Amino acid sequence: MATLWNKGTEADARVEDFTVGNDRVLDLRLARYDVSGSRAHISMLCSIGLLTKEEWRTLDAALADIAASVEDGSFVLEPDVEDIHSQVELLLTRRLGEVGKKIHSGRSRNDQVLVDVKLFLKDELISVRGEVAALFRTLQELSERHKEVLLPGYTHGQIAMPSSFGLWFGAYAEALVEDVYMLHGAFKVVDSNPLGSGAGYGGSFPLDREMTTQLLGFGSMSYNSVGAQLGRGKAEKCVASALGSVALTLNKFAADCCMYMSPNYGFISFPDNLTTGSSIMPHKKNPDVWEIMRGRCNRIMAAENEISLLCGNLPHGYHRDLQLLKDILFPALESLHECLKMADYMLKYIKVNEHILDNPLYEHLFTVEEVNARVLAGTPFRDAYRQVGIEVGEGRFKYSRGSGSGLSASALGHTHAGSIGNLCNDKIALRMEQALKW
């Protein structure tokens, strides 16, 4: 197998298979970033005299061709090549001979991997941010459209107080604002350039690390060479934490949808083609999309813990264990992309039940409303609470402003910020607008 570390002795085939694992497949996602890192690196090598201008132009043209093959899908990792870095260097050496071998001067595969992963994660976080923003807009639109439709609120799984679809959709929209804060925090962690840290201890070449930082579009440099290598695992953990925050929001929303779709609730529904049936029960309309999303999001949330367990007992410096980070994080990223897009797609077709409170099951939903009405009329709170409690116990409770049927959110007179009568969606939209500015 072609490797960057080969010194003339071939590794045992079983050892190679075990240590390389799934890394070759995952490495293909890093191809464009490996080429970008190499182009920045050779520009810097030329600037400090380790490459002639002619050598730099020759190498850069060849790397541009490799970049084009990555974009058009023709780039592959050959069967006997260990990783993306070896493949790029092999292609250059085949094409350019001795000049191709000069590309690795002043760097290690360690800082090369770090650069590739950080550039990849920056793009991935920006992509997740866009998908979160799209879902946010959908939730806000649904909140406004259905803001007058009342919905039972629950605590401890028991009927509690009036809510509304506007409040429900809007709650998850605002939760996504906090998730964007988490994504931004992770972005700031990965937005630092490790190139030039080598294997973790720098080197004797007069590398211009400021130059590569600027060329690669990093916001700053990882200055300390050992510190740059310590970032391996920490960057992935921070990203996993941010992904887990988004996944938690989706997980809870999916759980709500599974419950609300049940005929025992009947709060929401979806077209038949977005649900699944049973092999023996012809009446079933199962919430399989939301169930799979709920399960997937649990797995995404587990990624942070898995990364912590992988990295937690490693001393500083590189260890081969760290290769497994891609096995954990890359699938989690892919799954979150799919879940965000599917949630947004499903919500385009959601139908809300506008007559939920016609059901006498919810007659006690307004006990707090009645208590508050009596307090506003002059009755001390504890007296009003006791009066209503006795009426409920004796089966005499009636909400003085009428039954649930025909009531709307605005009719209840809730006016404080964030209540069903004052959703503050415009203010939440402003929070998101500010959160997205990175």
* pLDDT (tens digit per residue) in 175-231: 999 999 999 999 999 999 999 999 889 989 999 999 999 999 999 999 999 999 888
- Note whether 89 and 131 are same-domain residues: no
How would residue 419 be classed by pLDDT, with cut points 50, 70 and 90? very high
* Statement to judge: residues 37 and 136 lie in one domain: no
User: Could you give phi then psi for residue 12, rounded to 5 degrees?
Assistant: -60, 140
Q: Is the pLDDT of residue 291 over 80?
A: yes
Counting Cα atoms < 13 Å in the Cβ hemisphere of 249 gives: 27
Same structural domain, 66 and 170:
no
**How many domains, the chain?**
2
Tell me the CATH number at 23: 1.10.275.10
User: Would you state the pLDDT for residue 275?
Assistant: 80
| 91 lies in the same domain as 135 | no
* Model confidence band, residue 331 (pLDDT cutoffs 50, 70, 90): very high
Q: pTM for the complete prediction? A: 0.91
Q: Is 214 part of a structural domain of the chain?
A: no
**Lowest-pLDDT range of 16-30, 82-96, 240-254, 404-418:** 16-30
Give residue 82's pLDDT band: very low, low, confident or very high (50, 70, 90): confident
User: Where in the sequence is the domain holding 76, given as residue range(s)?
Assistant: 13-105
Q: Positive or negative, the Cα torsion across 73, 74, 75, 81?
A: positive
Round the average pLDDT of the chain to a whole number and report it.
91
Report if residue 62 sits inside a domain.
Answer: yes
Is residue 100 located within the same domain as residue 187? no
Residue 293 pLDDT > 60, yes or no?
A: yes
Domain end point (choices 354, 374, 408): 354
pLDDT at position 403 over 60? no
The reply to whether 429 falls in a domain is no
Separation between Cα atoms, residue 403 and residue 370, nearest integer Å: 12
At residue 391, does pLDDT exceed 60?
yes
In a domain, 87, yes or no: yes
- Is 217 a domain residue? no
CATH (domain of 317) = 1.20.200.10
The answer to whether residues 75 and 124 belong to one domain is: no
User: Lowest mean pLDDT: which of 5-19, 151-165, 388-402?
Assistant: 5-19
pLDDT band at 280 (very low <50, low <70, confident <90, very high): low
Same domain flag for 299 and 336: yes
Asked if residue 415 has pLDDT above 70, the reply is yes
Residue 380 has pLDDT above 70, yes or no: yes
* CB-CB contact of 107 with 41 (8 Å): yes
Indicate the pairing of strand 192-193 with strand 220-221: parallel
Residue 156 lies inside a defined structural domain of this protein? no
Please indicate, yes or no, whether residues 57 and 86 belong to a single structural domain of this protein: yes
**Nearest in space to 240 (alpha carbons), one of 297, 192, 292:** 297
Q: What is the pLDDT of residue 5?
A: 45
Q: Given this model, what pLDDT does residue 172 score? A: 98
Say if residue 1's pLDDT is above 60.
no
Boundary residue ending a domain (323, 354, 385): 354
- Tell me what pLDDT residue 286 has: 82
Same domain, 33 and 178: no
The answer to whether position 375 is within a domain reads no
For the segment 230-251, the average pLDDT, to the nearest whole number, is 95
Same domain, 255 and 168: yes
Query: Measured between alpha carbons, how far is 167 from 180 in angstroms, rounded to an integer?
Result: 20
Tokens of 269: 């529904």
Percentage of the chain beyond pLDDT 70 is 91
Note the pLDDT of residue 83. 85
From 332, 354, 376, the end of a domain falls on 354
391 assigned to some structural domain: no
* Number of neighbouring beta carbons within 10 Å of residue 363: 16
pLDDT class of 313 with cuts at 50, 70, 90: confident
What's residue 284's pLDDT?
58
**Whether 251 and 321 share a structural domain:** yes
- Considering the domain architecture, whether residues 175 and 268 belong to the same structural domain is answered as yes
92 compared with 24, residue with greater pLDDT = 92
Show the tokens assigned to 345.
């797609």
Up-side HSE of residue 344: CA atoms within 13 Å toward CB? 19
